[in-house]
Amino acid sequence: MVKQKLVLRFPSSLVEQPVIYNLIKNFDLMVNILRADINPKKEGRLMMELSGDESNFRRALEWLQKKGLEVMQLKQQIIWQEDRCTHCGACSVICPSGALVLNRPEMTIRFMEEKCVVCELCLRACPARAMETLLDSAI
Ligand code: SF4
Ligand code: SF4
């Protein structure tokens, strides 16, 4: 049994292909979509958790790469650059999982990575660019 978080980048020619359907039907994998930015006629990006039998998982990765998708492993979900953080609290308001919390009365941010679901909302909300996604190289 394998469980991995991946990011798939689709060239515009493949954006409308039923990739998820095929991962489930042909490779018997479970797909949990964490985030999707897919626009017709533009490059797409899909962040997902994929789980299932190891050989099916490997075959699915080969299939994705042969189709022309770039497959990246989400090695470490989100990192908090504490030295850049101004503790403004904007991320704690938007974080859906409670991974970013504003401690009171100190008014300092605490990041609990184990609660993070990699939605990336904090990346856009942070004016100091203190939140980052760390991706491994293509697999
Ligand atoms: S990526 Fe989403 S869940 Fe994780 S810390 Fe940022 S807002 Fe919270
Ligand atoms: S939004 Fe950015 S600067 Fe503000 S508290 Fe969150 S991580 Fe720190």
Domain-located, residue 138:
no
67-90: average pLDDT:
88
Of 53, 73, 93, which marks where a domain is finished?
73
| Ligand 1 environment, Cβ below 6 A | 78, 94-97, 99-100, 116-122, 131
Domain-located, residue 139:
no
What confidence tier does 92 reach under pLDDT thresholds 50, 70, 90? Answer: very high
Residues comprising the chain, all counted:
139
Residues 69, 83, single domain; the answer is no
Domain-located, residue 137:
no
Find out whether the beta carbon of 31 lies less than 6 Å from any atom of ligand 2: no
Place of tokens 């490779």: 27
What total of structural domains would you count in the chain? Answer: 2
| Residue 15 belongs to domain spanning | 2-73
Q: Which of 128, 104, 100 is nearest to 115 (CA)?
A: 100
Place of tokens 């018997």: 28
Helices (H) and strands (E) counted in the chain, each on its own, are 4, 8
Of 73, 106, 121, which marks where a domain is finished?
73
Q: What percent of the chain has pLDDT over 90?
A: 51
Residues 19, 67, single domain; the answer is yes
Q: Return the pLDDT at 66.
A: 92
Number of C-beta neighbours around residue 104 at 10 A: 8
Please check the confidence at residue 65 and state whether its pLDDT lies above 80.
Answer: yes
Domain-located, residue 58:
yes
Find out whether the beta carbon of 90 lies less than 6 Å from any atom of ligand 2: yes
87, 100, 103, 124, best to mutate for ligand 2 pocket (most atoms within 8 Å of CB): 87
